[in-house]
Amino acid sequence: MQDIQIGTRISRTQFQYTLMDTDPIELALWAPRLLQRLASAPELTNVATDQQNNGFRTYLNVDRDAAMRMGVSMQAIQDTLYDGFGQRQISTIFGQSNQYRVVLEADPSWQADPNSLRLLRVPGTGGAQIPLSGIATITRTVAPLVVTHQAQFPSVTLSFDIAPGDSLAMR
Protein backbone atom coordinates (compact mmCIF):
# COMPACT_ATOMS: atom_id res chain seq x y z
CA MET A 1 0.00 0.00 0.00
CA GLN A 2 1.33 3.40 -0.92
CA ASP A 3 1.66 5.72 2.12
CA ILE A 4 2.47 8.96 0.33
CA GLN A 5 0.37 10.33 -2.52
CA ILE A 6 2.30 12.45 -4.97
CA GLY A 7 0.07 14.88 -6.83
CA THR A 8 -2.91 17.03 -6.05
CA ARG A 9 -5.81 14.87 -7.20
CA ILE A 10 -7.57 12.76 -4.63
CA SER A 11 -8.61 9.31 -5.75
CA ARG A 12 -10.19 6.26 -4.19
CA THR A 13 -7.70 4.04 -6.01
CA GLN A 14 -3.93 3.68 -6.07
CA PHE A 15 -3.19 4.68 -9.67
CA GLN A 16 -4.41 7.54 -11.83
CA TYR A 17 -4.15 8.54 -15.44
CA THR A 18 -5.21 12.03 -16.49
CA LEU A 19 -6.25 12.86 -20.04
CA MET A 20 -6.08 16.49 -21.17
CA ASP A 21 -7.27 18.09 -24.37
CA THR A 22 -7.85 21.60 -25.64
CA ASP A 23 -11.14 20.40 -27.15
CA PRO A 24 -13.64 19.30 -24.45
CA ILE A 25 -15.80 17.52 -27.05
CA GLU A 26 -12.91 15.32 -28.15
CA LEU A 27 -12.02 14.65 -24.51
CA ALA A 28 -15.64 13.64 -23.79
CA LEU A 29 -15.45 11.24 -26.74
CA TRP A 30 -12.16 9.51 -25.88
CA ALA A 31 -12.24 9.34 -22.08
CA PRO A 32 -15.18 6.87 -21.96
CA ARG A 33 -13.49 4.72 -24.61
CA LEU A 34 -10.30 4.49 -22.56
CA LEU A 35 -12.34 3.88 -19.40
CA GLN A 36 -14.14 0.98 -21.07
CA ARG A 37 -10.84 -0.46 -22.29
CA LEU A 38 -9.26 -0.22 -18.83
CA ALA A 39 -12.34 -1.74 -17.18
CA SER A 40 -12.16 -4.74 -19.53
CA ALA A 41 -8.54 -5.50 -18.58
CA PRO A 42 -8.51 -8.40 -16.07
CA GLU A 43 -5.37 -7.11 -14.35
CA LEU A 44 -7.10 -3.85 -13.30
CA THR A 45 -9.80 -3.44 -10.66
CA ASN A 46 -11.91 -0.57 -9.30
CA VAL A 47 -11.66 1.35 -12.56
CA ALA A 48 -13.35 4.75 -12.11
CA THR A 49 -13.48 8.22 -13.59
CA ASP A 50 -14.20 11.75 -12.40
CA GLN A 51 -16.10 12.52 -15.61
CA GLN A 52 -19.77 13.30 -14.93
CA ASN A 53 -21.72 13.75 -18.16
CA ASN A 54 -25.26 13.13 -16.94
CA GLY A 55 -26.37 16.70 -16.28
CA PHE A 56 -29.15 18.46 -18.15
CA ARG A 57 -28.79 21.53 -20.32
CA THR A 58 -31.63 23.52 -21.81
CA TYR A 59 -31.07 25.50 -25.01
CA LEU A 60 -33.39 28.30 -25.99
CA ASN A 61 -33.09 29.13 -29.70
CA VAL A 62 -34.99 32.33 -30.46
CA ASP A 63 -36.40 32.79 -33.96
CA ARG A 64 -35.48 36.46 -34.28
CA ASP A 65 -37.60 36.98 -37.40
CA ALA A 66 -40.73 35.64 -35.68
CA ALA A 67 -39.95 37.69 -32.57
CA MET A 68 -39.55 40.84 -34.66
CA ARG A 69 -42.86 40.22 -36.47
CA MET A 70 -44.60 40.05 -33.07
CA GLY A 71 -42.79 43.12 -31.73
CA VAL A 72 -40.70 41.21 -29.19
CA SER A 73 -37.18 42.49 -28.62
CA MET A 74 -34.28 40.34 -27.47
CA GLN A 75 -34.02 42.62 -24.44
CA ALA A 76 -37.62 41.74 -23.50
CA ILE A 77 -36.77 38.04 -23.78
CA GLN A 78 -33.65 38.44 -21.65
CA ASP A 79 -35.56 40.49 -19.06
CA THR A 80 -38.33 37.86 -18.88
CA LEU A 81 -35.82 35.04 -18.42
CA TYR A 82 -33.94 36.98 -15.75
CA ASP A 83 -37.18 37.84 -13.95
CA GLY A 84 -38.16 34.17 -13.95
CA PHE A 85 -34.84 32.52 -13.18
CA GLY A 86 -32.78 35.25 -11.54
CA GLN A 87 -33.41 37.72 -8.75
CA ARG A 88 -34.29 41.33 -9.44
CA GLN A 89 -34.54 44.01 -6.78
CA ILE A 90 -37.70 45.93 -7.59
CA SER A 91 -38.10 48.23 -4.60
CA THR A 92 -36.77 49.28 -1.23
CA ILE A 93 -38.95 49.72 1.82
CA PHE A 94 -37.54 52.23 4.29
CA GLY A 95 -38.23 51.67 7.97
CA GLN A 96 -37.24 53.85 10.89
CA SER A 97 -33.89 52.16 11.36
CA ASN A 98 -33.58 49.66 8.49
CA GLN A 99 -33.99 49.28 4.75
CA TYR A 100 -35.74 46.24 3.31
CA ARG A 101 -35.09 45.27 -0.28
CA VAL A 102 -37.99 43.76 -2.20
CA VAL A 103 -36.76 41.04 -4.54
CA LEU A 104 -38.78 39.66 -7.44
CA GLU A 105 -38.23 35.93 -7.90
CA ALA A 106 -40.22 33.08 -9.41
CA ASP A 107 -41.35 30.16 -7.29
CA PRO A 108 -38.32 27.85 -6.83
CA SER A 109 -40.33 24.88 -8.12
CA TRP A 110 -40.69 26.77 -11.42
CA GLN A 111 -36.97 27.44 -11.51
CA ALA A 112 -36.16 23.76 -11.09
CA ASP A 113 -38.38 22.61 -13.97
CA PRO A 114 -37.24 23.49 -17.51
CA ASN A 115 -40.80 22.89 -18.75
CA SER A 116 -41.78 26.15 -17.05
CA LEU A 117 -40.09 27.93 -19.99
CA ARG A 118 -43.11 26.90 -22.06
CA LEU A 119 -45.36 28.87 -19.69
CA LEU A 120 -43.45 32.16 -19.93
CA ARG A 121 -44.92 35.12 -21.82
CA VAL A 122 -42.95 38.06 -23.18
CA PRO A 123 -44.32 41.53 -23.92
CA GLY A 124 -44.93 42.25 -27.60
CA THR A 125 -46.48 45.03 -29.66
CA GLY A 126 -49.30 46.91 -27.94
CA GLY A 127 -48.75 45.13 -24.61
CA ALA A 128 -49.67 41.72 -26.06
CA GLN A 129 -48.30 38.76 -24.11
CA ILE A 130 -46.55 36.39 -26.54
CA PRO A 131 -45.77 32.80 -25.44
CA LEU A 132 -42.02 32.27 -25.39
CA SER A 133 -42.55 28.86 -27.00
CA GLY A 134 -44.19 30.66 -29.95
CA ILE A 135 -40.99 32.48 -30.88
CA ALA A 136 -38.33 30.06 -29.62
CA THR A 137 -37.54 26.37 -29.64
CA ILE A 138 -36.61 24.79 -26.34
CA THR A 139 -34.22 21.84 -26.52
CA ARG A 140 -33.03 19.69 -23.63
CA THR A 141 -29.72 17.87 -23.91
CA VAL A 142 -27.22 16.24 -21.59
CA ALA A 143 -24.16 18.12 -20.47
CA PRO A 144 -21.28 17.69 -18.05
CA LEU A 145 -22.06 18.41 -14.42
CA VAL A 146 -18.43 19.28 -13.80
CA VAL A 147 -15.54 20.08 -16.13
CA THR A 148 -12.27 19.42 -14.34
CA HIS A 149 -9.07 21.08 -15.48
CA GLN A 150 -5.39 20.25 -15.41
CA ALA A 151 -3.61 23.58 -15.61
CA GLN A 152 -5.80 25.48 -18.08
CA PHE A 153 -7.05 22.52 -20.11
CA PRO A 154 -10.16 20.37 -19.62
CA SER A 155 -9.19 16.98 -18.23
CA VAL A 156 -10.57 13.63 -17.14
CA THR A 157 -8.86 11.47 -14.53
CA LEU A 158 -9.19 7.71 -14.79
CA SER A 159 -8.21 5.77 -11.69
CA PHE A 160 -7.68 2.09 -11.00
CA ASP A 161 -6.12 -0.52 -8.75
CA ILE A 162 -4.02 -3.49 -9.74
CA ALA A 163 -5.61 -6.93 -9.28
CA PRO A 164 -4.02 -9.13 -6.60
CA GLY A 165 -1.03 -10.99 -8.03
CA ASP A 166 -0.58 -8.56 -10.94
CA SER A 167 1.67 -5.54 -11.40
CA LEU A 168 2.08 -2.79 -13.94
CA ALA A 169 5.52 -4.14 -14.82
CA MET A 170 4.11 -7.57 -15.84
CA ARG A 171 2.62 -6.24 -19.11
> 10 or 170, which is more confident?
10
Provide the pLDDT for residue 123.
94
Residue 4 in domain: no
Provide the pLDDT for residue 92.
93
Question: Are 126 and 70 members of one domain?
Answer: yes
Say if residues 103 and 89 touch (Cβ distance below 8 Å): yes
Residue 10 in domain: no
Burial of residue 167, with CB atoms counted within 10 A of its CB: 0-12 exposed, 13-18 middle, 19 or more buried: exposed
Predicted confidence band at 166 (pLDDT cuts at 50, 70, 90)? confident
Structural domain of residue 73, as residue ranges?
56-143
Instruction: Read off the pTM.
Output: 0.60
Question: Are 72 and 139 members of one domain?
Answer: yes
Question: Are 41 and 82 members of one domain?
Answer: no
**Is residue 6 over pLDDT 80?**
no
Say if residues 72 and 135 touch (Cβ distance below 8 Å): yes
As a whole-number percent, the residues of the chain with pLDDT over 70 amount to 94
Provide the pLDDT for residue 61.
95
Taking only the tens place, the pLDDT of each residue in 58-107 is 889 999 999 999 999 999 999 989 888 888 888 999 999 999 999 887 78
Handedness of CA 147, 152, 156, 161 (dihedral sign): negative
Q: What is the mean pLDDT of residues 36-44?
A: 92
Provide the pLDDT for residue 151.
84
Predicted confidence band at 9 (pLDDT cuts at 50, 70, 90)? low
What is the C-alpha to C-alpha distance for residues 9 and 27, in angstroms, rounded to an integer?
18
Burial of residue 76, with CB atoms counted within 10 A of its CB: 0-12 exposed, 13-18 middle, 19 or more buried: middle
Residue 8 in domain: no
Question: Are 110 and 164 members of one domain?
Answer: no
Provide the pLDDT for residue 12.
79
Q: Could you give the number of structural domains in the chain?
A: 2
Taking only the tens place, the pLDDT of each residue in 132-153 is 999 999 998 888 888 888 888 9
Question: Are 67 and 111 members of one domain?
Answer: yes
What is the residue-averaged pLDDT of the chain?
Answer: 87
Amino acid identity, position 114: P
CATH number at residue 22: 3.30.70.1440
